[in-house]
Structure 1
């Protein structure tokens, strides 16, 4: 859990955090050969100014060590918080109690629970998993020692990852369109190969399928040396779907046409397939199988997707990587009809998350693949979505393979102090929720999710606070200690001294807690609980003085994309404008002589470029609506009417916009919604 500033900015919950956001919406359209410029005055509303109250949840922490406990977490009876290092146990009238730091509720506690150690960072695991984890740690230590000895003896850097035994399925489009040329000429040593695409001048050029085969064979070579125990398999699809497994004929299986319309039968056949063996043993067979692929007719992408997920789902934390150059046009999930089966892709998303499968989609540029439907499976399962040149397939495959899944069935709960609320970018007027629960599915060590928080209006939580104060006027009277004589509040002496100095200076500190529930690769249910405190300031300049600009920049891009995924284009544009204004104001306050770090300069340049491009893209989509429908669908938004009618209107708008969104726009949207702090600092 990482904060954008060393201070929480307490703006008082009043209008000081808001500004008028009235603007002309200008749209250009060409009707009957004449350019028309239409202006619409937006309804005057208050829009919140952006600030530094941003939290970054970095799931790489799941690979880091934490204090482990097999005990059950002690939970507050009122709010979702878990008892942590911030709370002490006290006695009152012969009762053992503890007072929640988040909602001030006084809770009873048993003697055994009181003896449990409480740390800032805790990992709660089942008792049996503790023993299994210790055995795995011992085996890993022995393997590491053996690896180090081999490295010392042989010299050079050791990059072999023998621990990765996950399932990786390449699901490959071999439909007729994959024979199309790419403009890349076949090398002279291969000019006599008849599989290339011919041309009138006698030269031969590589087809999309040729380049895909080359990229896959290169990946086979790398995986064999770097991740030898990965279980690599191949599924091909055209009009038919075939599981080539790891090249072993006894494991291969196909889907007949009648199966391709029944998702239950597809899943049954997939579950019945045998998993591929480790690539260190199967690479030669797989290379022959890949080389023997030939283009055929239609694109049964939907059946191939579900079939692949069913196979990969037999082992937790597996990956499916789809490479295609066209939309699904046969079998279940076909997108070529007037009523495309978008619901099918929601079903596949849920099914993949249930069994810990991450799906990535590589769409070959030049064709429409309907990424709005296919891409949301990758988005929901935390895979990658990208439109790529055939010549870039190798690097894209490498990037996807390198991302290690560290948790599946992930749910996070963010708990704030009762005076704070979690901001919902889709409902900014709701200032009531001091906790937020979110299902994420799969996460990699690089996955990041950002959250904003704010201060409730003065008096919003006063009633609860006063009630709890009367229940325990005296507060904690007697602290207990654990059996090992550690205080339950185990902060070092120098930290306690700093906290005392802050109290004397009148600095208020508020608690924050992050709970991550997830399933590891061994299918054990684990719970990570991280608790910390943050001092508050009422001065915006103090909060912004040491602001983490790359973190705020990544949050700005990710949040804008998340709003647009709900097809709220006008709201997404407002968010982009608000974030751009914040960065512009900060740079103006700091002046031209301010010494930015190299990472900050790169992040500022990238966020400006991302938000500008995304704003233009959303405007172009609204202009296209105006040309095709005679109106901007956001014009239907209204604060009037019942909640039901507003939800219905927004749902209709979402359905219409999903149908008309172009692949390039969808790809950027999905990529931006996965923006991370490290990626915003990467030079283009």
Structure 2
């Protein structure tokens, strides 16, 4: 983090390192949290060629290095044995001193540090881990610097981050990854952590770090271990990557108040499932949604929602009544889910199918809002439809595996995959 950026103070240009920007952003976040949520517990873990678990007046820091950094079980035990940080009302000053005392040097033991942070956060379901980095992990555990002819990291590292994401989700921990603009951090791999735990994948300029920290912190987890099951009559079937038949389940994991997920379903194709025929016009069908989740106090909850709808064969009735914002959200999520796996052609086909449906629906809608939402959706989908080459890494012509994503591509597509119906931000407009 020693590379500098030019900033203006008044009319005088000065140069500051990435580390200085990070320090300033974290200090601001700590100060605000100490004023607004003084009972919150905040821990600081830093990494270079070693991993440092920063202490305070009540307990000393711990340093992990060498062979300790390649033993996952040892790292977990180190995290479990390290004291939980006291509330910010007692640690703010000490934490600020630790932040101001940071310096840049050595390697990037991001993999071990991530494991330790998640293990520490697992003590309290609903906790957040924010990983801020300006480079690739390059120590043995979770090394993202060694690549094959397909421009992908070694398989063991891919498995490491996949398993780490599963571990975090099982413990109710949300992980967000914040990379600094102008760096290559292999967000296609690190993004797995955020994607599995409902966190964010962000590329931020040094000047925007504080606002990104704040947005991540303020988006509170309201439930963990969430799964959503859609139940349909046998005349209908769920459509999608992992669904089959008239029942589909999504393992959502951690959810915030603005989390939105979507399903696709339709009439069963003729001849499938024992010749079950499609529902006839005038009939009524029931659709049920079952939400299972765990509250922060550990109580498991079940919520059941059931809707009853009439079947019609008049397409104009359906098209004039479609909620386009939901169709567009589903299209963005489904297409991005395919694209993050390198299946750009399938993602494009998915988007094209939904585009045709939306254009037919717009013929029955005079709403200026619907037309505006549609135009924004077209811009959002442009990277998938027209310019996927701008978001993928170059690889050897000898490789026949799907192309891996650049950091910009990973940040964009993971965000699309987990987006909601909030208006597209100015930053996103500039990207598109």
Common topology (TM > 0.5): yes
Q: Distance in 2 between matches of 1:234 and 1:403?
A: 20
Q: Distance in 2 between matches of 1:187 and 1:220?
A: 26
Residue 611 of structure 1 pairs with residue 381 of structure 2: yes
Within the candidate set 56, 59, 72, 1:250 is matched to 59
Residue 580 of structure 1 pairs with residue 355 of structure 2: yes
1:675 alignment counterpart: 419
Q: Is the 8 A contact 2:196 2:253 kept in 1?
A: yes
Q: Is the 8 A contact 1:602 1:681 kept in 2?
A: no
Q: Is the 8 A contact 2:59 2:83 kept in 1?
A: no
Q: Distance in 1 between matches of 2:73 and 2:371?
A: 52
The structural deviation recorded for 1:681 is 8.9
Within the candidate set 154, 163, 180, 1:347 is matched to 163
Q: Is the 8 A contact 1:212 1:390 kept in 2?
A: yes
Is the partner of 2:329 in helix, strand or coil? helix
Within the candidate set 629, 638, 646, 2:397 is matched to 629
2:368 alignment counterpart: 596
Point out where structure 1 has 5 or more consecutive residues left out of the alignment. 1-177, 192-202, 466-505, 634-652
Deviations, residues 98-135 of structure 1 (Å, cap 9, x unaligned): xxxxxxxxxxxxxxxxxxxxxxxxxxxxxxxxxxxxxx
Residue 367 of structure 1 pairs with residue 190 of structure 2: no
Runs of 4+ in structure 1 over 6 Å off = 461-465
Deviations, residues 444-503 of structure 1 (Å, cap 9, x unaligned): 1111111000011357568779xxxxxxxxxxxxxxxxxxxxxxxxxxxxxxxxxxxxxx
Q: Distance in 1 between matches of 2:59 and 2:406?
A: 42
Residue 382 of structure 1 pairs with residue 150 of structure 2: no
Q: Distance in 2 between matches of 1:674 and 1:292?
A: 36
The structural deviation recorded for 1:674 is 0.7
Residue 239 of structure 1 pairs with residue 239 of structure 2: no
Q: Is the 8 A contact 1:553 1:680 kept in 2?
A: no
2:150 alignment counterpart: none
1:220 alignment counterpart: 30
Residue 456 of structure 1 pairs with residue 224 of structure 2: no
Within the candidate set 412, 423, 428, 2:228 is matched to 412
Is the partner of 2:293 in helix, strand or coil? strand
Number of positions where the alignment pairs a residue of Structure 1 with one of Structure 2? 418
Within the candidate set 139, 163, 174, 1:330 is matched to 139
Deviations, residues 161-182 of structure 1 (Å, cap 9, x unaligned): xxxxxxxxxxxxxxxxx01101
The structural deviation recorded for 1:623 is 10
1:272 alignment counterpart: 81
The structural deviation recorded for 1:214 is 1.0
Q: Distance in 2 between matches of 1:406 and 1:239?
A: 36
Decide whether aligned partners of structure 1 residues 319 and 618 sit closer, same or farther in structure 2, where only a CA change above 3 A counts: same
Q: Is the 8 A contact 1:421 1:433 kept in 2?
A: yes
Q: Distance in 1 between matches of 2:94 and 2:128?
A: 21
Within the candidate set 308, 311, 323, 1:548 is matched to 323
Q: Is the 8 A contact 2:49 2:107 kept in 1?
A: yes
The structural deviation recorded for 1:612 is 1.7
RMSD: 2.6
Q: Is the 8 A contact 1:419 1:460 kept in 2?
A: no
Q: Distance in 2 between matches of 1:221 and 1:269?
A: 28
Q: Is the 8 A contact 1:260 1:332 kept in 2?
A: yes
The structural deviation recorded for 1:365 is 1.0
Q: Distance in 1 between matches of 2:114 and 2:412?
A: 22
Q: Distance in 1 between matches of 2:107 and 2:253?
A: 32
The structural deviation recorded for 1:508 is 2.6
Q: Distance in 2 between matches of 1:251 and 1:623?
A: 43
The structural deviation recorded for 1:298 is 1.1
Deviations, residues 295-325 of structure 1 (Å, cap 9, x unaligned): 1111100010001001111111110001100
1:321 alignment counterpart: 130
2:304 alignment counterpart: 529
Q: Distance in 2 between matches of 1:679 and 1:261?
A: 43
Q: Distance in 2 between matches of 1:662 and 1:462?
A: 46
> Scaled by the length of structure 1, what TM-score is found?
0.58
The structural deviation recorded for 1:607 is 0.3
The structural deviation recorded for 1:233 is 1.3
Deviations, residues 22-69 of structure 1 (Å, cap 9, x unaligned): xxxxxxxxxxxxxxxxxxxxxxxxxxxxxxxxxxxxxxxxxxxxxxxx
Q: Distance in 2 between matches of 1:672 and 1:248?
A: 43
Within the candidate set 656, 663, 681, 2:407 is matched to 663
2:20 alignment counterpart: 210
